[in-house]
């Protein structure tokens, strides 16, 4: 009811197909319309759907996979090194949509992390398409934002940390500092796949929007942030990201950037309505 918040004690909603035809009292609507099915009672309420403004589309939760909650900095390493290999992406993402809808959430953001390496063009592209297709098929309203990173895969300052590790540890976990050309190539491949997904799914049934999904200030190089911004403006789409999630990320700003992460993005010209 806009600014006139109120509770109707005898309220009803008349739905035809996927369209809300009318809202009013049950007594009034039942006289005005013939209906095939009535849902509800004096013990039920009708309310707008809830919105989940950030999720990662995991139907099978991390706890069910044996990854307990904990500090982000150690937890995220388990998440990445115990990935979703062998899981059916469509079913897993669809289950996350069902879980949300059953709990009253009808609109959600899926900041999706594919278990496939970005440079595995076929695997990565197919996996993201399966994920966004599940979101579209669920009937929910979704912003799908494929995640992107191209630096600091191990810590917030790999440039300083990785050289201190023994070679056998770096080799075992395949840890290395990405070169400038590595960062450029990852950005190029990400934006290529993003455009493909955007052209295929954005605006599907007017319920699906495809946004760019840079992971965070410290996980994406400055040049890549600028490319993301340029792409968002060109495609008239949005950007979804994490920002200052923990005290360590807050400290990253002054220590590495000489300013807060938010101020850094502002100075880059990244912040804006999109």
* Each residue's pLDDT tens digit, 85-107: 667 999 999 999 999 999 999 99
Q: What is the pLDDT of residues 157-183, one digit of tens each?
A: 999 999 999 999 988 888 889 999 999
Residue that wins the pLDDT comparison between 45 and 150: 150
Specify the pLDDT at position 163: 94
Q: Is the pTM of this model over 0.85?
A: yes
pLDDT of 168: 93
pLDDT band at 216 (very low <50, low <70, confident <90, very high): very high
pLDDT at 145 over 80: yes
- 240, 109 in Cβ contact below 8 A? yes
In a 3-state reduction of DSSP, which class is residue 63? coil
User: What is the full DSSP assignment across 43-80?
Assistant: T----PPEEEEEE---SS-TTTTT-----HHHHHHHHH
Please report the pLDDT score of residue 37 as a whole number: 93
| Cα separation, 257 vs 264, whole angstroms | 7
Beta bridge partners of 105: 50
Residue 152 has pLDDT above 90, yes or no: yes
Q: What percent of the chain has pLDDT over 70?
A: 97
What is the overall mean pLDDT for the chain?
A: 92
State the pLDDT at residue 229: 98
Q: What is the pLDDT of residues 43-93, one digit of tens each?
A: 888 888 999 999 999 898 888 888 888 899 988 877 766 655 667 999 999
Q: At what angle do helices 180-201 and 121-137 cross, to 10 degrees?
A: 40
Mean of pLDDT values over 12-40: 91
pLDDT at 226: 98
Confidence of residue 205 (pLDDT cuts 50, 70, 90): confident
% of the chain beyond a pLDDT of 90:
74
> Which tokens belong to 231?
């792409």
Beta carbons of 260 and 254 less than 8 angstroms apart: yes
Interval 114-131 mean pLDDT: 93
Burial class of residue 122, CB neighbours in 10 A (0-12, 13-18, 19+): exposed
- Residues 7 and 168: their CA atoms lie apart, in Å, by 65
pLDDT of residue 76: 83
d(CA 159, CA 169): 16
Q: What is the pLDDT of residues 251-268, one digit of tens each?
A: 999 999 999 999 999 999
Question: pLDDT value at position 7?
Answer: 80
Answer yes or no: is pLDDT of 1 > 60: no
């Amino acid at each position: 009811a806009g600014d006139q918040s109120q509770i109707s004690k005898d309220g009803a909603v008349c739905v035809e197909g996927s369209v809300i035809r009318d809202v009013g009292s049950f007594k009034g609507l039942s006289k005005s319309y013939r209906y095939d099915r009535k849902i509800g009672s004096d013990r039920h309420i009708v309310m707008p759907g809830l919105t989940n403004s950030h999720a990662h589309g995991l139907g099978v939760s991390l706890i069910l996979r044996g990854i307990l909650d904990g500090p982000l900095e150690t937890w995220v390493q388990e998440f990445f090194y115990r990935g979703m290999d062998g899981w059916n992406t469509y079913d897993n993402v669809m289950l996350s949509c069902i879980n949300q809808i059953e709990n009253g959430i009808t609109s959600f953001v899926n900041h999706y992390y594919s278990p496939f390496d970005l440079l595995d063009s076929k695997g990565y592209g197919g996996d993201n398409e399966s994920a966004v297709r599940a979101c579209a098929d669920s009937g929910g309203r979704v912003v799908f934002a494929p995640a992107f990173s191209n630096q600091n895969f191990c810590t917030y300052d790999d440039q300083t940390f990785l050289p201190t590790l023994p070679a056998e540890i770096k080799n075992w976990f395949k840890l290395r500092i990405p070169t400038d050309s590595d960062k450029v190539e990852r950005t190029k491949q990400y934006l290529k796949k993003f455009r493909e997904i955007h052209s295929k799914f954005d605006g599907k049934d007017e319920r699906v929007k495809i946004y760019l999904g840079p992971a965070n200030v410290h996980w994406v190089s400055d040049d890549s942030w600028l490319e993301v911004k340029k792409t968002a403006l060109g495609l008239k789409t949005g950007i979804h990201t994490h920002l200052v999630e923990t005290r360590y990320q807050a400290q990253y700003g002054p220590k590495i950037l000489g300013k807060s992460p938010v101020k850094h993005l502002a100075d880059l010209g990244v912040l804006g309505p999109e």
